Amino acid sequence: MTFPFAIASFDAFPSFRMSFDVLADKKKNTIGVQWFVAIAIAYLLLFRNGEVSQTPLAYFLLATALASAIVVQRLPESAFNRPVFCQALMIIDTILMSAAIYLNNESSWDLLLIFFFGILIAAIAENFLQVVLTSFLLGLTSVFISPTDLEFRLRPDGLLRVSLLFGASILYGYLAEQVKVEKRKKAVLEKTMQQRLLTKDQFLSHVSHELRSPITAIYQFVTILIDGLAGDLNPDQQEYLNIVLRNVAQLRNMITDLLEATRAETGKLAFEPRCASLSQLASEVLETTLATAVAKGVRLTVDVPTDLPFVFGDPARIKQILTNLIENAIKFTPAKGEIALRSQVDNQDPNFLRIAVADSGCGISPEGTKKIFDRLFQETETIDSNRQGLGLGLYICKELVNLHGGKIWVESDLGKGSTFCFTLPIFSLSKILYPVITDGNRLKANIAMITVGRIPANGSSPWRMTDAMRREIRKILQGCSLPDTRLLLPSVTDRGESDVFYLVDCLDQQGADLTVQMIEEKLRGSKALQVPDGGLAVSYRMVSAPRQETSLSLECLVDEVATAIRGQMLLTVSDGENEKDQTYVAEMSHGIKTPLNVVLGYSGMLRDKLLGDLNPTQEEALDKVIAHTNDLIVAFDNVLEAQRIKDRTVSVENHELNVLELLEELKMNYGTTQNKALFLIWDQPAELPVMVTDAVKLRLIFRNLINNAIKFTEKGSVRVSTEFNAKSQSLEFKVSDTGIGIAKEAIPGIFHQFLQLQPSQINPMTGMGLGLYIVKTLTHLLGGKVAVESEPGKGSAFIVTLPAHAATTN
């Protein structure tokens, strides 16, 4: 539903082209032409030197013209997009006009009418040739067919008049055509970009829906219980529920953060690597961590020389890494211990700085050093809220360092202390340019450098550019680059002395022209950029690639850009988008497991009546809390998995798996959460071969299928049956329900990621969203296939077949 609004906001054409804009609406134009023809014919036939033409042919012509005008007015919009239809109309119009001129045969006013007719035809013509042909035909008609005026028209002044009018109509047609071609080109470009925006919005919209719905239900039922709307509680129950509520609030905030982070293209949480001074960042971090260190009696020293080269990274992120490492060190260093932050150019790779945080704490065992950065949250599907201390921050550190392209490791002696080291790339313009402007070993053929700069107002002092304006310009520039070319967007410095923006994009001259135009329009249309006269100037320069050796030409290019970009720039590589999303999601999911487990664990304890008796309403409310928390966990895993699939970072970790154990675990998960009207039936043989597969992914497949079945089944049963097919050496999992079923036409679409559906088609699939897409993709990843059987109104069954490389038989 965002379509009309999004499109409307994109419309910002400069006024000088406004006059041509009417040409875009084919239907209106065609109706206009038809009425013009009708009126012109009426005029030609009824007022021939004061006489009225009485011939039946005249009336027939008039009637035809009127009828065509009326018919055209009633036709649907779509008809006007068919070229054949418009051409046919044009031919009919031309014949009608010619005939009328012939019948009139006296007036010289027809010339003027022909001129106007030419102009109007240009409005609906498909191409320039049609305009010329029509004008030519009419010119011929008017000159030679009308016998009485022939003499006048063949005189020099008469001929001049005819050819002037004739020429003018062709010229107008030509101009109109140019505008139309340009508009069409621009429309294609804008459409691609909008599609990208919409895809992103739709993805978000669904993710948002899938995460926010369960948290809403959890919140509602927890508050219903706490407020006593379901019955009285004892103080213990009250206290536990309040803990649950606090964690629900935390979850809610995290979901909001996550969605905002995913959404932000240039927003506050964006990953924006730039040229940054490590010594400055280190001293900032020192300020914030010193208090903790002093409180614990730990000495904290920083040795980062100010003459170190600049690094290329996101300052906020680098600070986050440093803070995490220092805080971690403080935590594990006893009083009177020492922590040192040191940095130098990495002696193994001179393109990197190496930063070390050394402590005199308890140290880490050799096995520990390997696992310390691991993603802990994947190991703990079960309820375990005792995960403090190690790990939480370190995993994030690893992700952030990886994002910068660096490495992180730890050196440790048990009992003596440990040193966490990581590397960050040193800032180098050529290195940043390299991936943007090269294609394999060669330079890309077309490279354009677009510059947006400030023009001082006439005579007065230059106007001031505010930070908000800079942000807006950056946003516009990012929005105006083609989606499939990578771009580099250097912008202003920290200190604000430069107000020039550069955009390096792989575009040819025409593309650059178009982009510059688009930038100009967007700048002009932006409300946030109300700048005085002169305002902003947009220009571009083609950076030609010399036909020489790659290394040389690359250097030339870098020089070219570097001369233009003077001083120290903030650099934004906007293509980091994917990585950014992934990191945020990973980061958030990491943190989100703790509150989720608290909610699940405490609700479970309450539900099992460990803290006191419950009435049936309270039981039901708690069941709902637990069920929706389970939904939320799966929704989170889905979002994470979808991101990995999108970023192609999904990997399969195969291990031996006892399927019976997995099923038992799922049974536990779902066992207590069922309401009375719906039965979950588990149906599996007593023995199953041991599979070699990725248990995490298989579990997610199961949970999605079961959740999906429960969602669409009001009453009856959901049956999870497992079978081993000895012949094909495969395991068959079938999740069948007695729910609403799926219409036959809908089946092919259900596994598609929702964004492939048209907006109007999304709604029937609302509940399916990511879940089934994940099921399909993961099943394929595990080497299996998935099938659906369904009967509307009776239920549906999803069958997942996975190869069972039976290692040993149970």
Residue ranges that bind another protein, judged by CB under 8 A: 1-2, 5, 201, 204-205, 208-213, 215-221, 223-224, 227-232, 252, 259, 263, 615-618, 620, 624, 627-628, 675, 677, 714, 763-764, 766-767
Q: Please tell me whether residue 300 adopts helix, strand or coil conformation.
A: strand
Q: How far is the CB of 808 from another protein (least distance, A)?
A: 44
Between 30 and 638, CB nearer to another protein: 638
Work out how close the CB of 753 gets to another protein at its nearest, in angstroms, rounded to a whole number. Answer: 16
Smaller CB separation from another protein, 119 or 772: 772
The candidate with the shortest Cα–Cα distance to 804, out of 691, 653, 647, is: 691
Nearer Cβ to another protein, position 220 or 380? 220
* Cα 146 to Cα 134: distance, rounded to the nearest angstrom: 18
DSSP of 456-519, one letter per residue?
A: PPSSSPPPPPPHHHHHHHHHHHHHTS-TTS-EEEE---TT-----EEEEE---HHHHHHHHHHH
User: Which of residues 767 and 803 has its CB atom nearest to another protein in the complex?
Assistant: 767
Q: How far is the CB of 238 from another protein (least distance, A)?
A: 14
CB of 621 to another protein, least distance (A): 8
Distance CA 543, CA 428 (A): 20
In the complex with another protein, the residue whose CB is nearer, 201 or 665, is 201
Alpha carbon distances (Å) from 98 to 132, 141, 155: 16, 6, 22
Residue 259: CB minimum distance to another protein, A: 6
Region class of 793: left (phi > 0), else alpha (psi between -120 and 50), else beta: left
64/674 with CB nearer another protein: 674
DSSP element (H, E) containing 721: strand 716-725
Least Å distance, CB 11 to another protein, is: 16
CB of residue 204 to another protein, shortest distance in Å: 6
Cβ contact 714:787 at 8 Å? no
CA distances from 118 to 36, 73, 90 (A): 11, 21, 11
Phi, psi of 147 (to 5 degrees): -70, -40
Angle ∠(154,155,160) on CA atoms, nearest 5: 85
**Which helix (H) or strand (E) covers residue 180, if one does?**
helix 156-226
> Of the two residues 229 and 528, which places its CB atom closer to another protein in the complex?
229
In DSSP terms, 573 is beta-bridged to: 488
Shorter beta-carbon distance to another protein: residue 220 or 485: 220
Q: Residue 645 — left, alpha, or beta (φ > 0 → left; ψ -120 to 50 → alpha)?
A: alpha
Q: How far is the CB of 255 from another protein (least distance, A)?
A: 8
The tokens 């912008």 sit on which residue? Answer: 491
Q: How far is the CB of 594 from another protein (least distance, A)?
A: 19
- Read off the tokens for 349: 């790779």
**What are residue 540's DSSP bridge partners?**
450
List the structure tokens of 529.
Answer: 């950029």
Closer to another protein at the Cβ: 360 or 629? 629
Measured from the CB of residue 637, what is the shortest distance to another protein in angstroms? 18
For the bound state, the minimum distance from the C-beta of residue 483 to another protein, rounded and expressed in Å, comes to: 19
Least separation in angstroms between CB 29 and another protein: 29
Least separation in angstroms between residue 517's CB and another protein is 27
Rounded to the nearest 5°, which phi and psi values hold at 333?
A: -110, 125
Kindly tell me which of 225 and 448 has the beta carbon lying closer to another protein: 225
- For residues 237 and 229, what is the distance between their CA atoms, to the nearest angstrom? 14
Residue with smaller CB distance to another protein, 228 or 793: 228
Do residues 796 and 739 make contact, with C-beta atoms less than 8 angstroms apart?
yes
Q: Closest approach of Cβ 610 to another protein, in Å?
A: 21
φ, ψ of residue 201 to 5 degrees: the values are -65, -40
- Least distance from another protein to the Cβ atom of residue 229, Å: 5
- 142 or 618: whose CB is closer to another protein? 618
Nearer Cβ to another protein (405/759): 759
CB-nearer residue toward another protein: 134 or 673: 673
What is the number of helices (H) and of strands (E) in the chain?
24, 21
Residue 193, CA atoms < 13 Å, CB-side half-sphere: 19
Instruction: Give the separation between CA 659 and CA 688, rounded to whole angstroms.
Output: 7
Closest CA to 654 of 623, 692, 706, 621: 692
Taking the C-alpha atoms of residue 663 and residue 382, their distance in angstroms, rounded to an integer, is: 14
Token pair for residue 424?
């960050």
Q: How many other C-beta atoms are found inside a 10 Å radius of the C-beta of residue 616?
A: 10
Smaller CB separation from another protein, 228 or 334 = 228
To another protein, the closest distance from the beta carbon of 399 in angstroms equals 25
Give 656's DSSP letter: E
Output 309 or 525, the one with its CB closest to another protein: 525
CB of 228 to another protein, least distance (A): 7
- The rounded Cα 771 to chain-centroid distance in angstroms is 19
CB 503 within 8 A of CB 485: no
Smallest separation (angstroms) from another protein to the CB of 628: 7
- Show Cβ contacts of residue 800 under 8 Å, excluding neighbours closer than 6 positions: 701, 705, 732, 733, 734, 735, 775, 779, 784, 785, 786
- Pick the closer one to another protein by CB: 221 or 352: 221
Give 746's DSSP letter.
G
Contacts of 752 by beta carbon, 8 Å cutoff, 6+ apart? 773
3-state secondary structure 358-421: EECCCCCCHHHHHHCCCCHHHCCCCCCCCCCCCCHHHHHHHHHHHHHCCCEEEEEECCCEEEEE
Between residues 1 and 84, which has the closer beta carbon with respect to another protein? Answer: 1
